[in-house]
Copies of this chain bind each other. A is one copy, B any other.
Amino acid sequence: MKENKFVAIYQDLADKIQSHQYPVGSLLPSEKELSGTYHVSRETIRKALNLLSQNGYIQKVRGKGSIILDVSRFDFPVSGLVSFKEIAEASGKKWRTNVHELVLTEADSHIAKQLRIPVGTVVWKIIRSREVDGERIILDKDFIRQDLIPNLTKEICEHSLYQYIEQELHLIISYSRKEMFVSQATDEDKLYLSMNDFHHVVVVNNHVFLEDTSLFQYTESRHRLDKFRFVDFARRQSVK
């Protein structure tokens, strides 16, 4: 019972929408009515509804009500800040991570710039390939600040880095910035990936920040062209 009221209400309503207790296209009960049902103030209901709206469950229309959206259309929210493990398990496919390299190394000028640390600082360098249904389709090169994450093992990198950081170290991963583009495949790509006949890879560069805004991880993720897929759900900013 430690959970926030508005989160609990959000989850309750989200479940009801997903199980079609509220049909697609119909209206949610009004905020006033919901505040009665859940015995909370209207502002608390509004927080729950904002979560539903942000996550694509409802569309709020002034003067009318909250329309139930077809959430089944938005199958896999690959977008956002989600670990490979979380995506892979949600997809239901067989997956596996191979750790090719896990070393402490001195940051060169490129890595130092990306992690915003002095050149020569000791950082973790991890090279992993991601296997889905028996094919190596992603090559991840991670650089992690050793002062923030002192100890790493092959097991942690194979299993789930984020789970270790959040559940063992109790650090809070807060936000990230991804940049995507297409690049020529390198010899390294051909070494670690099942490249077949492809000459390009999709590169996803990712900066990941902790709650105190420190930049702790920089990842260069190289995806085989034919297996790359990214989904983005966006609301139009009226502001600014």
Q: Interface on A for B, CB 8 Å cutoff?
A: 7, 10-11, 14, 25, 51, 55-56, 59, 61, 67, 69, 73-74, 79-81, 173-182, 200, 202, 209, 211-213, 225-226, 228-237, 239-240
Contacts of A10 in B (CB 8 A): 239
CB-nearest residue of chain B to A60 = B211
Contact B200 A235 (CB under 8 A): no
Can you identify 7 A-B contacts, CB atoms within 8 angstroms? A79-B234, A80-B236, A177-B233, A180-B180, A180-B231, A230-B230, A232-B232
Contact A177 to B211, CB < 8 A, known contacts A11-B240, A200-B225: no
A117 to chain B: closest CB distance in Å?
14
Contacts of A74 in B (CB 8 A): 177
Contact B179 A236 (CB under 8 A): no
Copies in the complex: 2
Give which listed residue, B55, B180, B237, contacts A240 with CB less than 8 A. Answer: B55
Contacts of A173 in B (CB 8 A): 236
Closest A-B pairs by Cβ, 9 of them: A80-B234, A81-B234, A178-B232, A182-B225, A81-B236, A180-B230, A59-B213, A175-B235, A181-B229
Contact A81 B235 (CB under 8 A): yes
Give which listed residue, B61, B178, B180, B212, contacts A212 with CB less than 8 A. Answer: B61
List 14 extra interface pairs beyond A59-B175, A59-B212, A181-B229, CB under 8 A: A11-B240, A25-B213, A56-B177, A59-B209, A79-B232, A79-B234, A173-B236, A175-B233, A177-B233, A178-B230, A179-B231, A179-B232, A180-B228, A182-B200
A17 to chain B: closest CB distance in Å?
13
Contacts of A175 in B (CB 8 A): 56, 59, 233-236
Contact A229 B179 (CB under 8 A): yes
Contacts of A80 in B (CB 8 A): 232, 234-237
Contacts of A81 in B (CB 8 A): 234-237
Contact A69 B213 (CB under 8 A): yes
CB-nearest residue of chain B to A67 = B213
A195 to chain B: closest CB distance in Å?
14
Contact B59 A232 (CB under 8 A): no
Please, how many angstroms separate the alpha-carbon atoms of A236 and B235 in the complex?
A: 17
